[in-house]
Each structure stands twice: as C-alpha cells, then as structure tokens.
Structure 1
Amino acid sequence: MKPSIKIHFLGAAGVVTGSKFLIETSERNILIDCGMFQGLKNLRQLNWRSLPFKAEAIDVVLLTHGHLDHVGYLPRLLKQGFKGKIIGTAPTLAIAEIILKDSAKIHEEEAERANKEKYTRHDPALPFYTLQEAEKTINHFKMEPPDTWISLSEDILFRFRYNGHIIGATFIELDIKGKRFVFSGDIGRPNDYLLRDPNRPRWADVLFLESTYGNKIHPQEDVDVLLAQLIKETIYNKGNLIIPSFAVERLQSLMFLIWKLYEKNKIPNIPVYVDSPMGYNVLKVFERYRDWHKLSKASYSNMCAHVTIIESYKETWETIDNRHSKIVIAGSGMVTGGRVLTYLQHLIDDPKTTVLLVGYMAEGTRGRQLKDGAHDIKFFGKYYPVRARIAYIESLSAHADQKELLDWMSEIRNIPEKVYLVHGEPDALNTLRVKVKDIYNWNATIQHLNDVEHLYL
C-alpha cells in the first residue's frame, strides 16, 4: 500500500490571515506557521477556538516569517498541549519574539482597559495570551540557517529559502519520501528598498501559493513624489501626518524613504517621530543581521539619527500636545490596535490632519474602513468622526502582486501535482487561479478553513 499524508488547512484558507498548514504523516506531524486571524469579527473569534487537531500530537512548527498572522497563535498552541520545537531563521525568531511579547502586552492592556471602562460583554475580559505565556513559547524556539537541508526524521527534510517580504522571511521546501512540498509564505517584491529579491523554487510537487494580491498589479507610483507632496502639504496646512505602520519592514522602509527625501533636499527638515517600541526593537534586528538586508552601516546610522524614537506614553502625549507640524509613524499598520489609536483619538477629527495608509488593508480592519471612506471609526468603545484627509499609497506593499507571484513560479521545472492557493480573499484567489491556468496550464485549487486533503506519496 502506498504511503500517504493528510494536509489540514487550519488557517489562511479562503482568507488572508491565520496561517496554519498541518502536514500529518506516519513519521512526524508538521505545522507550517501558526498565526492569528485578523480582520472581520467572525474571523477574530476563531482565534479563541482550539485547533481541530490535538496540539500535543504536533511534533514541530516551521515558521516562514515573524508576522503576527504567521506566529501569533503559538502561545495558544502551547496552552493546548504542544511541547515540540518552533523552528525558524535567526531573524525570524528575533522578530517573532518581539511581536509575541508586544502582542501579549497589548492583549493585557486592552483587557485591563475593557474591564476598567466596562465596554465589553465579557466579565472579566481576558487577554488572548499573557506575557508569561509568550515567554514560555519563546523557550521552544530553535534557529536553523537558510539554504541547508535539516532532517526531521528518516524520510522528512526541510530547508528555508530567502523570500524578501520582511527580514528573515523564507519560503519552505519540505521533502517527504522524495516528494517536494513548497510553502510560499509571504513573497516579497523585487527592487525592495531594504531587502534583496526573493529566491525562487526550482521544483514543486505540491505548491502552497500566497494570493494576497492575486487580482491586482501594484500601481507604478512615484512614491518619492507622492510622499514629498503629502509632507509639504502637511507643513503648509500646519497639520500632522499620521502614518499607521507595521513595526516590521514597513516602518524601516518609511524611515528610509523620508530620510532619503530630506537628504536629497526634496522636503524640509520636518520632525519625524517613531512611536513604536516594537519598531525600535526591530531596528536592532536590522543592526544584528546585516547580511539579511541591503542597508550599509552608514545608511542605517543616518536613517536612525533622522527620527526621534518615542519610548513612553508620556512622550506620546507630549508629541500629541506639540502644536508644530510633524510626521508620526506608529503601529499598527491596519489600525487594529497600538499607539496609533491614541493619536487618531485626538487628531482624526481635525481637517488639518492627514492619515497616510500604506500597503494592504485587510477586510474588517479600521484601515480598510478608512481607505473605503468611513465617516467615523470605533475604538476604545466609542465612535470618532473622520474629518482628517485619508491618503493611500499601495505600491509600498511588502507583498508581491499578481505579476510578481506568477514570475516567482517561473523557474519551477516540473508540473506540480497540486497547487493550493492560500492567503487570499475570494476574488484574489479566483482571479489568480484563472491566471495560473492560462499561463502555466496548472490546475490550482482553492481550499476552505478546516479542509483536509489526502495525498499519496
């Protein structure tokens, strides 16, 4: 009888977030990524459910990269009984540690605020996980280098391959009895400001392909011109430019762009505040792992010297009270939480304020609501009128667009037996499915949450 495996689609199937793909074999049960669902309430509620597979039966977790929607469920996995190793590249584990600790702190603060201000139906409101649980999770981390085959059992090997997107990010090649499974993770873009171009797989018997921008081509925007114009208008209006930003990669790219604009005399010397303790910690990861990015030591130092890092809430309030024009970059990127909400609480009703949204805004997030023209947004249990100007630059996305996704597949020399499209909203998934068929004549399929596929090896 031929050996077989089961593939469990536990997240990022039919949706963008919550990445979790379980490969069940006779030798090892391997979980690829272990992320949180984000966006719509019905998705976020899924985070509170236990996995439909015994966590103690999972032997190992392999991480493509450190974003919350790829690592944020790990403490819950341990709570359900997982006892194995969590393996990633050195910068991925460094990023994951920062994100898990920061996320735990936010969960604890939000639960405390909800209980104090009584804007929750839960009594008491509980954090999704605590800092103590995050630290316990980090004790399971194990670093492995890229481009090296690592044995998990007699017939199972894996390796990490450089993938751009964020520092440390990889796609994963998993060999099971000689059959190659390729998990794309999140694919970065060519000609990134900070990162090298992604590597490309050469062989894939089974391909798991992200589809975040499967229905879109990033616009050919002149980001320098757009950003410089917004900054000059902010100064002219005596207002503030608020940029919600992910702490990983997006924040560093924005710092780099603003510094380069100033260096080229394209903008005046407007104060730039970075209000993201997590972003500050990520900068240290860039300093520690120089071979994972393109910044020279001098460029890194000059870029950091051009901004003021805010390290306390006291400094946050001082920055809000400061009446001078300024740029504030603060988390979170899709306005789902973080310190950017404190700035918006006081500035989003001011017509002199500009809120610049950058990159992908998932369905159901406040960032998507603002992008779609919401007249008010709700946070901290209240509605706030939106009188600020909302601007959007899509081309700074760290995700490959449709053309770049198709190019990433172009060096695969065989015809995959299976192509699973994941990490996408329905229209993006279906559009990319048609494109894959048209260009490569490969039959791609779209899975749904908790689907189980049975494959013979």
Structure 2
Amino acid sequence: MKTGKTNIHFLGAAGTVTGSKYLLETGNTNILIDCGLFQGLKELRLKNWEYPPVNASTIDAVLLTHGHLDHTGYLPRLVKQGFKGPIYGTNPTLDIAAIILKDSARIQEQEASRANKEGYSKHSPAKPLYNMDDVDATLTHFKRIPPAQWLPLLEGIHMRFSYNGHILGATFIELDLFGRHFVFSGDIGRTNDLLLYPPLKPKKADFLFIESTYGGRFHPEEAEAIPVIEKLVKETIGRGGSLFIPSFSVERAQLLMMILGTLIKEHRIPKVPMIMDSPMGSDVLELFQRTRDWHRLDDDDCYEMCSHFTVVSSFRETMLIRENNDPKIVIAGSGMLTGGRILNYLEVQAQNPKNTLLFVGYQAEGTRGRSLLDGEKGFKAYGKWVPFDMQIAVIEGLSAHADHAELLDWMSKLQTKPERIFVVHGEKEAGEALQQGIKETYDWDAELPDLYSIVSV
C-alpha cells in the first residue's frame, strides 16, 4: 500500500467558478472530487468537448459535494470516456443530480434539434454534449451514502460527507488518505438561510480546498430581500409588466416560491398568475417533501409554498404563456441565462420595457446574465440577436453561497493551521480577496491554483 506523495490535478473551478473537478492521484488510487460542467466564457465551455488531461478509465471513484450542474454535469461525458467506478453522494444530492442531468440532456437535445432545423449552428449536424441514454448509463454508477459518518472508500482511505447548507444534500467532503486529512468545501451555504440549516464546520484539515465565489463581497440578510421583492413586484405589475426571475431550480426557486406565496397571502403584492416553469420543478418540490431532515419546512410549509403557483413542465404550455402579455410572475431556469426555459420567455418578452428581469443568484463571467448586468443591450439565443429593453434588478441577499465573512467563519473551528490551503471556485478578484482575508484573519497563507495545474503534497 503506497503512502507517499499525492498529486492534486485542478481540472476545473480553478481561477473560475464553474467546472469543479479535483483529482487526487495517490500512486495506486485515483479519486475525483466533483465532476462539473464549465459554463460562461466560450473558451471554458469548449473544454466540455475536450478530453480532460487524465484517463477516465483510471479513476477509481467520484465523490460529489452536491447536485448542481457545475459540480455534476460532466459525469455523462466521464462515463462515456470509460469511467467504470462508483459515484458517491448523499440521497438528496444523487436525486438532484439525476433530475438536473436529465434536464440538461433534454435541453441539449432540444437545442441541437432546433439548431439543425433552423440551420444556425456552425456544426452540421449540431449534436448535444450528451443525451438521455448517456445520462441513464451514468445513473447506474450512483451509490448513496449517509452523511456525518466515516466510511471506508478504498484501502487506507476513508471519507465523510458533512452538512453544508447551500442546497438540499450539499456537503463538504473529508478524506483521510493514509492518515492525512483532505477537506473539500464544495459550495458553502448561508449562516441564516430561510430554508436550510447553517453549514457545519470542519475541525481538522491538513489540506483545505475552499470555494471563493463571493470572496470580497458581503450579502445582506435574506429577510432584507423580502421588502425589495415586494417593491419590485408592485412597481412591475403597476406599470402593466411581468416579473421574470431566472433561477436555479433547486432551493433558490423554492425559496422564491415561499417568499412570493407569503407576500400574496399577506396581501402585500397584487394577486397575479405565478408560474414555476421547469421540467424538473415538480420533481424538486416532491424531493423537498421527502427530505425533511435537510431543510426547515414542514408539510404545511411545503403545501403553502406550492399552492400559489402553477408548475409548468410542458414546452407547449411555455410557448403559450410567453405570448401572453398580461402581468404575471415567472420563475424559470437557468439561473445565469445559459439555457433553459427562461430564454424562451425572453426571446419574446425582452423588448418590453414594462417587464423586469430579476437576478437572485451569481452570474458567472461569460454568461448572458453577466453580460446584461454589465450593460449589454441584447444577447444571442437560438442563432439570433435578441434586443433587450427590460428593467433589470439584482438581489444578492438570496444567494445560496456564503459571502466573504461567512467563508472565513466556516474555517473558524479548525484546531490547527492547515499545511496548505487552496482557494478555488472563484474568479481571480474574488479568490485574491479571500486569500487576503485568510491572511488577515488567521495569518495563514493560501494558494490560488491555475486550471490544469498539478500540485504534489
């Protein structure tokens, strides 16, 4: 049994937010932490089509921190490239990953079909990155594990998944590799989330990998966002417009449904049709009802959250709703306008200045959402330019990610200084801000690894 150096391959989410993949190569075992899609900048998205600089067939196991696409979306490609091992995650994580991967495959198949039909792709024929058959093959590798328990992974290696807020099932992962302790933060949730419990905190880490999405930035409390939403709804409906909210379909969408439902119930906003448009929306709502231990809601809360909304899954229904100019509130994926049903609405509604587009989550560099926030007056979708003249609003208090102070606090229970700290999952400025914050708070040095770099520890 080899117990020497471990090589760490930073295959994603290094110097950028998306594409989380960290490979630990011990000499006789290879373990991949997360397996996400790159999103945003074109040069990053193109990497999804390339083979990663490792042999998929040599990877022994994949461990998932949570189910979001930028942490799970490359799994079907990995399996297609020859990966044959288990994919470990908590029950909610694997349920969410299955829902999201199926939705991703469905969207890719639909967009490839539309591109071929309308002839706007540079590729002939346009193909999806993966299809539903690829997803079905991937799901056979899923292995469910309980949280908060040390479990054997491979000879000399143990693992533990601990509650981390952010979304249902999200965890930070601890690995004991031959007596050395590796901690991967995954995405860290909020301290005072209205739906989820506070994240747990690691107590030991020889090698710490910490996300930095909101390094250098501070969120208001979630409760402070409620009157802002109330005001936005009143203003938008008052001028005869509709409120469109691009949102991740897991956790943030449910939080928005709860907030808007409460505002309706308390007669604080006008009663207009409210739409949750997501092919996986009903699946996620059912998941909330099956995962009571992972969130704060009881049966009555779940019922109340759903009772004010029409959940749409049919694409035909989407196409009818988008043509209707009557005031309404629509929540639809994707959260960064990278695809999904929200683009179908904006294709028709983006030129109406009475409408409001409300961002409630992080907008990665190179996404349509970031471009609009940066002042772009339109975006390209389905092979054509879509002029944009809607009102734009941003509420950062609803982010599912810990802010700068919460990231630093998450490290506060560490009993000794880590041997090395790697700041990951953040753009350059955010990573540098967290690096500086760690130095100022703990007097610990931290590193900012480059994409595809290899570090030996």
Do they fold alike, i.e. is TM over 0.5? yes
**What letter corresponds to residue 122 of structure 1 in structure 2?**
H
For 2:19, what is the secondary structure of its paired residue?
coil
Conserved in 2, the CA contact under 8 Å of 1:240 and 1:353?
yes
Whole-angstrom distance in 1 between the partners of 2:413 and 2:281? 35
**What letter corresponds to residue 25 of structure 2 in structure 1?**
E
For 2:447, what is the secondary structure of its paired residue?
strand
Conserved in 2, the CA contact under 8 Å of 1:27 and 1:153?
no
For residues 171-209 of structure 1, the C-alpha deviation after alignment (integer angstroms, 9 at most, x for no partner) is 000001111100000000011111000000001110000
Whole-angstrom distance in 1 between the partners of 2:147 and 2:107? 32
Identity %: 55
TM-score (norm 2): 0.98
- Aligned pairs for 1:78-117 (under 5 A) are 78-117=79-118
For 1:166, what is the secondary structure of its paired residue?
coil
Greater Cα offset, 391-400 or 320-329: 320-329
TM-score (norm 1): 0.98
Whole-angstrom distance in 2 between the partners of 1:255 and 1:444? 39
Conserved in 2, the CA contact under 8 Å of 1:357 and 1:371?
no
- Aligned pairs for 1:290-301 (under 5 A) are 290-301=292-303
Provide the residue aligned with 2:358 in structure 1: 356
For 2:31, what is the secondary structure of its paired residue?
strand
For 1:208, what is the secondary structure of its paired residue?
strand
Q: CA deviation at 1:314?
A: 2.3
Q: CA deviation at 1:2?
A: 6.6
For 1:291, what is the secondary structure of its paired residue?
helix
Whole-angstrom distance in 1 between the partners of 2:220 and 2:365? 20
Whole-angstrom distance in 2 between the partners of 1:411 and 1:176? 21
For 2:78, what is the secondary structure of its paired residue?
helix
For residues 76-99 of structure 1, the C-alpha deviation after alignment (integer angstroms, 9 at most, x for no partner) is 101111000000000000000001
Whole-angstrom distance in 2 between the partners of 1:161 and 1:27? 26
Conserved in 1, the CA contact under 8 Å of 2:3 and 2:178?
no
- Aligned pairs for 1:22-37 (under 5 A) are 22-37=23-38
For 1:151, what is the secondary structure of its paired residue?
strand
Q: CA deviation at 1:315?
A: 1.5
Whole-angstrom distance in 2 between the partners of 1:380 and 1:318? 18
Conserved in 1, the CA contact under 8 Å of 2:9 and 2:454?
yes
For 2:275, what is the secondary structure of its paired residue?
strand
**What letter corresponds to residue 270 of structure 1 in structure 2?**
V
Whole-angstrom distance in 1 between the partners of 2:15 and 2:396? 22
**1:247 aligns with one of 239, 246, 249:** 249
For 1:91, what is the secondary structure of its paired residue?
helix
**What letter corresponds to residue 111 of structure 1 in structure 2?**
A
Conserved in 1, the CA contact under 8 Å of 2:281 and 2:311?
no
**What letter corresponds to residue 126 of structure 2 in structure 1?**
A
**What letter corresponds to residue 135 of structure 2 in structure 1?**
A
**1:418 aligns with one of 420, 424, 439:** 420
Whole-angstrom distance in 2 between the partners of 1:384 and 1:86? 40
Provide the residue aligned with 1:4 in structure 2: 5
Q: CA deviation at 1:267?
A: 1.4
For 2:153, what is the secondary structure of its paired residue?
strand
Whole-angstrom distance in 1 between the partners of 2:349 and 2:154? 56
Greater Cα offset, 259-268 or 408-417: 259-268
Provide the residue aligned with 1:452 in structure 2: 454
For residues 326-355 of structure 1, the C-alpha deviation after alignment (integer angstroms, 9 at most, x for no partner) is 101111100111111111011110111111
Whole-angstrom distance in 2 between the partners of 1:169 and 1:430? 25
Residue ranges of structure 2 left out of the alignment (5+ in a row): none
- Aligned pairs for 1:183-222 (under 5 A) are 183-219=184-220, 222=224
1:434 equivalenced with 2:436 (yes/no): yes
Whole-angstrom distance in 1 between the partners of 2:252 and 2:183? 26
**1:236 aligns with one of 235, 238, 241:** 238
Greater Cα offset, 273-282 or 342-351: 273-282
Conserved in 1, the CA contact under 8 Å of 2:16 and 2:428?
yes
**What letter corresponds to residue 153 of structure 1 in structure 2?**
L
